[in-house]
Amino acid sequence: MDFSAPFLTNYWPHLLAAFIGYFTIKFLARSLFGIEITRRFSHEYDPARQLDLERDEDENQGVSGGPQSFEDMTEHIPYRLKKYTEKETFRRAVEFYRMMDERRTVRHFSDDAVPLGVVQTLIKTAGTSPSGAHTQPWTYVVVQDFNLKCQIRKIVEEEEEINYRKRMSATWVKDLEKLRTTWERNVLDVAPYLIMVFKQAYGVGPNGERINHYYSEISISISVGILLAAIQNAGLVTVTSTPLNAGPALRTLLARPVNEKLLLLLPIGYPAHNATVPDLQRRDIKDNHGSDVM
């Protein structure tokens, strides 16, 4: 019984050290846990999983479909959609094809103003996209502030500088120089808006719990496809670009949470009067590398 007092008096520094050690480890564990989460979610896109049937079972929800529990737990309501005549259906399909066939990736922007309300409507349209378990794992950030656009350009250029000096093979240097010129003069500070598309690697529930996002990269890219259609329909242009390693710096600049990763950067505006595009052809549907009917 009475050895506890001398025990405490003799060994209190050890107990104090144990306490400090405990909280240090707890803190480290949290940091490490954060890293583990990142790693864990990085598996979401690991093709090895897509090829490995045995390891794939928990990712089979379908982009819109699942988890099926979501489908089944939610109350269902009737769905109605206007049905066009066969002739009208064909006409609408051809008309929409002709409109989209005029879409090109344009790198030469006019600085003509575009109402913010238009851009927000286009992004609302992107938000109608299906997503795995309706997780809507995208965040669209619209940048219109000129100084912020300049900072974004600076970050992109700095990353390209690092690519240029350290990361690129000799054969890439010339191309990258041209790319930088393109970015500097024609896009990032001329287009009235930059649309930054962030991937939510995981969601955060009402009680702060993490929500898995399955197939989020596919879901977000589908929503960007709908955005491109909306942009073309509005008579505007964009360039679907993947920022050159600038994601982390841009996420910090825009103060996005840690679960968001920059996926795409889309400047948006009207094409410059003297805009040009590469003279390329699209694959014909009859091309045997292309579509097929069975």
Determine if 5 is a binding residue for a copy of itself (CB under 8 A): no
Kindly tell me which residue out of 155, 188, 244, 268 binds a copy of itself, with binding defined by CB under 8 A: 244
In whole angstroms, give the CA distance from residue 264 to residue 245.
11
250 is an interface residue for a copy of itself by CB under 8 A:
no
Q: Hey, is 119 helix, strand or coil?
A: helix
Interface with a copy of itself by CB under 8 A: which range of 4-12, 13-21, 26-34, 88-96?
A: 88-96
Q: Is 230 in the site for a copy of itself (CB under 8 A)?
A: yes
**Candidate list 90, 146, 185, 258; residue touching a copy of itself; CB under 8 A:** 90
> Minimum distance between the CB of residue 185 and a copy of itself, rounded to whole angstroms?
14
SS3 at position 136: coil
Residues 104-123 that bind a copy of itself (CB under 8 A): 104-108, 114-118, 120-123
Label residue 132 left, alpha or beta by phi (over 0 means left) and psi (-120 to 50 means alpha).
beta
Among 163, 184, 190, 210, binds a copy of itself (CB under 8 A): 163
3-state secondary structure of 89: helix
Is position 252 an interface residue for a copy of itself (rule: CB under 8 A)? no
DSSP string, 2-20: TTHHHHHHHHHHHHHHHHH
Contacting a copy of itself within 143-162 (CB under 8 A) = 143-145, 148, 162
Which are the contacts of 260, defined by CB distance < 8 A and separation ≥ 6? 139, 198, 199, 200, 201, 251
Q: Does 168 bind a copy of itself (CB under 8 A)?
A: yes
Neighbour-count burial for 157-187, b at 16+ CB within 10 Å, e otherwise: bebbeebbeeeeeeeeeeebeebbeebeebb
Q: Which is nearer to a copy of itself, 12 or 96 (CB)?
A: 96
> Which parts of 7-36 interact with a copy of itself (CB under 8 A)?
none
* Residue 27 or 90 with smaller CB distance to a copy of itself: 90
